[in-house]
Structure 1
């Protein structure tokens, strides 16, 4: 069996059946199909001249990228949305305190197939967060690239989102402010659990002016704080599109 398919099968058997997909066996099938499609990719940093930001997918659309900007990077983010509960009663609601995610280069996936790209958040989001090595393997094994980790996403001490791509040797990074937000589309069974789609504008940084978070998978806070700890961590995945 192909090494990647072996990893896919072993990991898939550990996935919780609570996902947008109809169960572990279907998830394994999805991993296997994606692995097959990725076999034809060659290198990282592929060009994707036909990539189209999926703004039409939501009932209310995010604004278009500003005139004069160019799409520079497409990434899959995998990490957690983080919340806090002041008390564990049903009257209290979780309050967002930011997010943390690893950003994987998805340029070659986008160059291969936009449909395949849009499937990746649900597939990667369904895998255990501790399996980041597997996620890198999934994206890099058949693309002959030694490092598909593009960067990191986190919130700084001021509670402001940062997307930093300098881990991969780029000079691009951005400290951003949310300028628009729309509900995730209702075309999946996890729609109510998926965090909003966002447009972010640069406060300061280098090389990046705007970022879009789209095709989100899970990450929403529970409805109330009832029975929860003070810190609530919810796993998520999403596409990130960078313009500069």
Structure 2
């Protein structure tokens, strides 16, 4: 289903690797024209060779297909990552209630920068979560690709509500805890794909970013009902994360 777009996307990897700041790793043993080269065992190898931390302030968060989410005035994209993890739930009164999430995020900023003019950024955003879901596993999704950001939920700072939790994104040197600003159903298959989100940083809770957008979600929704009160459930998912500052 995704074969031809995947080939087109990863056909750009040799160009990425030949860029001045890129890795000098050889790609002579990879057949970028063959669909068989884009598979579970190949994706991590190719992804690991793509440079990281390219400037992406000229990239636009792909929100054109949804209403209700918007980048605050003056903010620009500072990092782009594809996330692979689990959405956590707890059975409560016959339905699954959200209990946070855990995910590994992999920096794909350079993929957007170095394919600019060749591939529509919206196409990349639509494909990467599906590729990550198929090719990577969680929790060991970072075994072959450098892990850029860790995502988890922590106790909400200053909250007096028992059990209140908030999303946190952290690197080795910085972090940010955020609150939900807005959420909208995924534009396609919202019963399977978790909502798109706009998160805003809590004051004094890190400087990693001012906002985080979860877009192009793939999977993650729980079953519509449950019977075992208090039963935990983790559902695998993948998504794009756009950080702005």
TM, length-normalised to structure 1: 0.71
Contact kept in structure 1, 2:55 and 2:78, CA below 8 Å: no
| Residue range with higher mean Cα deviation, 127-136 or 193-202 | 127-136
C-alpha deviation, 1:118, in angstroms: 2.7
Aligned ranges 1:109-128 → 2 under 5 Å: 109-111=111-113, 112=115, 113=119, 114=121, 115-128=123-136
Distance 1:44 1:128 in 2: 19
Contact 2:125 2:216 in 1 (8 A): no
Mark the CA change 1:157 to 1:196 in structure 2 (over 3 Å): closer, same or farther: same
Q: Matched residues in 2 for 1:154 and 1:177: separation?
A: 13
* Alignment-derived partner of residue 150 in structure 2: 152
RMSD: 2.5
Separation (CA, whole Å) in 2 of partners of 1:125 and 1:228? 29
Residue 68 of structure 2 corresponds to residue 61 of structure 1: yes
Structure 2 equivalent of residue 197 of structure 1: 196
For 2:187 and 2:243, the matched residues in 1 are separated by 21
Whether the 8 Å contact between 2:91 and 2:228 is mirrored in structure 1 is: no
- Are residues 39 and 226 of structure 1, via their aligned partners in 2, closer, same or farther at CA, if it must alter by over 3 Å? farther
Secondary structure of 2:135's counterpart equals coil
- The SS at the match of 1:193 is coil
> Kindly tell me: are residues 36 and 133 of structure 1, through their superposed partners in 2, closer, same or farther at Cα, counting changes over 3 Å?
farther
Q: Find the aligned partners of 1:227 and 1:241 in 2 and give their Cα distance.
A: 36
1:39 aligns to what SS in structure 2? helix
Structure ranking higher in helix proportion: 1
Following superposition, the deviation at residue 124 of structure 1 comes to 0.8
Any unmatched runs of 5+ in structure 1? 1-20, 137-146
Say how many residue pairs are matched.
Answer: 195
1:199, 1:212 within 8 Å by CA — same for their partners in 2?
yes
CA separation in 1, counterparts of 2:190 and 2:12?
A: 26
- The SS at the match of 2:239 is strand
Deviation at 1:228, TM superposition (A): 9.5
For 1:8, the equivalent position in structure 2 comes to: none
* Contact 1:55 1:61 survives alignment (8 Å): no
Residue in structure 1 matched with residue 98 of structure 2 by the alignment: 96
Offset of 1:215 from its aligned partner? Answer: 0.7
The equivalent residue for 2:56 is 48
Match of 2:77 among 48, 71, 80: 71
Structure 2 residues without counterparts, runs of 5 or longer: 17-21, 23-50, 157-164
Measure the CA separation in 2 of the matches of 1:212 and 1:183: 14
Distance in 1 (CA, whole Å) between partners of 2:136 and 2:210 is 32
